[in-house]
Structure 1
Amino acid sequence: MDFELSDEQQLIRETARDFTDHEIVERARENDRNEHFDLELVAKIAQQGYLGAIVPREYGGAGLDYLTYGLVVEQVGRGCSAMRTVISVQTSLVCSSILRWGTEEQKHHYLPKLCSGEWLGCRGLACFLVDTDQDGFQPQTIHHKMGLRGSDTAAISLDDVWAPEDAVLGEVGDGFKVAMTALDSGRYSVAAGCVGICQGCVDASVRYSKEREQFGRPIGSFQLVQAMISNMVLETDAARMLVWRAGWLKDAGKPNTTETSIAKLYATEAAVRCANTGIQVHGGSGYVDDYPVERYFRDVRVTTLYEGTSQIQQLIIGRAVTGINALT
């Protein structure tokens, strides 16, 4: 694997960084405070091509490879994990499932509207496609979440909803396969987003440690503060390299389920640790929402739960190295 990014990848990463800094960061705190799902911001994200990042251009996507997609998701995750979640669900779970298992008719019908943001998909393990304007489709928004308040979460009920034969995604009986391929892609996206949270915690802590003074000097000059920040940098770099490896394997068409689980397990747990340490560096200021670290802490907690808990990732990794399936 070549660790040097191409000129195009560097440009895409810089563009994503600028977009995040100018469009996402400034809205993140207010959207979190108000539990506001910012559809205007989602539309801007769609205009950047991020909702269909890995979808080929012929279906309306940006046609990015997985490594480059991971670079984009990292930057968005650094600014707002709620908006990163929107991208992850739309691209890694919904679009990738249709791209992998859908018929040509399904691809041409659904993917362009998903990539453009005209339609938003929802995360689930049901392997059939349902138009949400049907009678009997009833979403119920979930409020008062610990984190990810800027993204929409809902419970869905289907009451006598008709799903025609051509709505089946893949073949009848392939539901588990469809779900597992979607989770592989989703776990990669979550891991990349958590690298962004790690980096966001580093950036915020470095900035605060230079501004905040105690005993006549910046707290960044104290040994224990530098030790905490250096540990965060270590965790961030290690997580990033694991994500890049998983992305490289995906792009090379090589088996990557175990490596993706490794990246997901480490990056999510590292992000939890970085957010916790970031609050510690900020002291009492880190406990209020004047600084982003408390939002990082609330947002990141769910990442060790969804797309397979940390314990599930451990079992996947353990099965790969021992040859023994502890899930049965």
Structure 2
Amino acid sequence: MDFDPTEEQAAARDLAARVFGDLATPERLAAAGTGSDAELWKALCAAGLVEAVEETGLLGLVLLAEEQGRTTAQVPFTASAVYGLLAVARHGTDEQRARLLPGLRAGTTVVTAAFPQKEWVPWLRDATHVLVPDETRTLHLVPVPDTGDAVEPVELTAPWAAGRAVRAAALDPGSGERIGGPGPYAYEDVLAAARIAFAGLQAGVCAGSLARAVAYTSVREQFGRPLSSNQGVQLRAADAYMDTESIRVTAYEAAWRYDEGLPVAEHALTAAWWAAEAGKRVVHAGQHLHGGMGADLDHPVHRHFLWGRQLDAYLGCGTELLAELGDVLAKGDTA
């Protein structure tokens, strides 16, 4: 197992850090409100970062998702890369890859997924297509209707441009094309990849929250000395750092195994559990370490808090993930 990124992965990560850092600023995020930043999405696609995921694999996507999370950038990058680009590249037919991949690489085709839940779908308001499983858990790629009454906005904890289908037909698997063979294999494979990718996103959210807390406590003084000199602050920050690293290393391991074609089900669930459980601890700590400033809804650290809690909800609560992991271990089904 080698967690050192390849030259291509490191170059893509560094480029992503520059693009997200330059364009996903607090001022631009505030101006975007609860919608996505269309200009940032265009810049990411023009830089070839969406396309790069095809070459750098799931571990490459985890590295790029971290950079998105650090800035809480409001674009459907992680979702479309894992549910669209990687899903089609891995499970699509030759004809589907030839037809769909150019648009996914260019960002003109945006894919999200209506699973594991269908009550609301993240980035549905930005999507051109949505992956939907049928009753046999066979995956279908369904076009999102472009009529105004087909999708209604849903405001989540985090601004993920989510939506709900107003008409059941809008998410009807029968109205789309099958991706992968019949049965649950493609569904389970894409779900595992998504759990790993969104765990990487959470690692970035937590790293960004902790970095803000460290910067704030290093300059904010109380009784004539920085807050960071207090042992209680140091211990809280150290716990948050260890949690963040646990999210990162489990996501890296799971992504590496996925790219290598090794059994990954239990590792994907483990990464998701750490991202959900430890992630919410970290973003709570980041907000708490800001003291009264952390209660300001307009403070940048509050965005990390919102994203961390949203990812906790999206990945599933810890007890549900542990129950599913227990079933996988009991059955010996770790593929």
Unaligned runs of 5+ in 2: 115-131, 134-138
CA–CA distance in 2 between the matches of 1:161 and 1:199? 35
1:292 aligns with 2:292: no
1:48 aligns with 2:47: yes
Match of 1:116 among 100, 106, 110: 106
Match of 2:68 among 43, 55, 76: 76
Does the residue aligned with 1:54 lie in a helix, a strand or coil? helix
Which residue of structure 2 lines up, in the alignment, with residue 186 of structure 1?
A: 194
Q: How does 1:57-206 map to 2 (within 5 A)?
A: 63-80=55-72, 82-83=74-75, 86-124=76-114, 125-126=132-133, 127-133=139-145, 138-143=150-155, 145-147=156-158, 149=159, 151-156=160-165, 157-159=167-169, 167-171=177-181, 173-174=182-183, 176-206=184-214
The structure-2 alpha-carbon separation of the partners of 1:308 and 1:53, relative to structure 1 and needing over 3 Å to count, comes to: farther
Does the residue aligned with 2:53 lie in a helix, a strand or coil? coil
The structure-2 alpha-carbon separation of the partners of 1:308 and 1:281, relative to structure 1 and needing over 3 Å to count, comes to: closer
Using the TM superposition, give the Cα deviation of residue 211 of structure 1 relative to its aligned residue in structure 2, in angstroms.
1.5
State whether residues 50 and 105 of structure 2, in contact with CA within 8 Å, keep that contact through their aligned partners in structure 1.
yes
State whether residues 25 and 80 of structure 1, in contact with CA within 8 Å, keep that contact through their aligned partners in structure 2.
no
Using the TM superposition, give the Cα deviation of residue 96 of structure 1 relative to its aligned residue in structure 2, in angstroms.
2.5
The structure-2 alpha-carbon separation of the partners of 1:10 and 1:104, relative to structure 1 and needing over 3 Å to count, comes to: closer
CA–CA distance in 2 between the matches of 1:158 and 1:262? 33
Unaligned runs of 5+ in 1: 56-62
CA–CA distance in 2 between the matches of 1:4 and 1:192? 15
- The runs of at least 4 consecutive aligned structure 1 residues that moved more than 6 Å come to 134-137, 160-166
Using the TM superposition, give the Cα deviation of residue 162 of structure 1 relative to its aligned residue in structure 2, in angstroms.
9.6
Which residue of structure 2 lines up, in the alignment, with residue 260 of structure 1?
A: 268
State whether residues 212 and 301 of structure 2, in contact with CA within 8 Å, keep that contact through their aligned partners in structure 1.
yes
CA–CA distance in 1 between the matches of 2:96 and 2:83? 15
Using the TM superposition, give the Cα deviation of residue 18 of structure 1 relative to its aligned residue in structure 2, in angstroms.
1.8
Does the residue aligned with 2:194 lie in a helix, a strand or coil? helix
Greater shift, 156-165 or 89-98, is seen at 156-165
The structure-2 alpha-carbon separation of the partners of 1:8 and 1:314, relative to structure 1 and needing over 3 Å to count, comes to: same
Greater shift, 239-248 or 158-167, is seen at 158-167
Which residue of structure 2 lines up, in the alignment, with residue 301 of structure 1?
A: 309
State whether residues 51 and 115 of structure 1, in contact with CA within 8 Å, keep that contact through their aligned partners in structure 2.
yes
Which residue of structure 2 lines up, in the alignment, with residue 30 of structure 1?
A: 30
Using the TM superposition, give the Cα deviation of residue 236 of structure 1 relative to its aligned residue in structure 2, in angstroms.
1.4
Using the TM superposition, give the Cα deviation of residue 177 of structure 1 relative to its aligned residue in structure 2, in angstroms.
2.7
* CA deviation vs aligned residue, 1:295-325 (integer Å, no higher than 9, x gap): 1111211222224443332123212333389
State whether residues 198 and 270 of structure 1, in contact with CA within 8 Å, keep that contact through their aligned partners in structure 2.
no
Provide TM-score, normalisation by structure 2: 0.83
* CA deviation vs aligned residue, 1:247-277 (integer Å, no higher than 9, x gap): 2111211011111110111023222111101
CA–CA distance in 2 between the matches of 1:15 and 1:54? 13
Which residue of structure 2 lines up, in the alignment, with residue 58 of structure 1?
A: none
CA–CA distance in 1 between the matches of 2:148 and 2:295? 43
* CA deviation vs aligned residue, 1:144-192 (integer Å, no higher than 9, x gap): x222x1x311112354999889822234x42x33322221111011100
CA–CA distance in 2 between the matches of 1:221 and 1:95? 47
* CA deviation vs aligned residue, 1:207-252 (integer Å, no higher than 9, x gap): 0011111111111111111111111111112221111111211121
State whether residues 129 and 167 of structure 1, in contact with CA within 8 Å, keep that contact through their aligned partners in structure 2.
yes
Provide TM-score, normalisation by structure 1: 0.85
CA–CA distance in 1 between the matches of 2:225 and 2:175? 69
The structure-2 alpha-carbon separation of the partners of 1:300 and 1:14, relative to structure 1 and needing over 3 Å to count, comes to: same
Task: Count residues in correspondence.
Answer: 310
State whether residues 193 and 255 of structure 2, in contact with CA within 8 Å, keep that contact through their aligned partners in structure 1.
no
State whether residues 79 and 112 of structure 2, in contact with CA within 8 Å, keep that contact through their aligned partners in structure 1.
yes
State whether residues 81 and 197 of structure 1, in contact with CA within 8 Å, keep that contact through their aligned partners in structure 2.
no
State whether residues 31 and 38 of structure 1, in contact with CA within 8 Å, keep that contact through their aligned partners in structure 2.
no
Using the TM superposition, give the Cα deviation of residue 38 of structure 1 relative to its aligned residue in structure 2, in angstroms.
1.6
Does the residue aligned with 1:168 lie in a helix, a strand or coil? strand
CA–CA distance in 2 between the matches of 1:65 and 1:256? 15
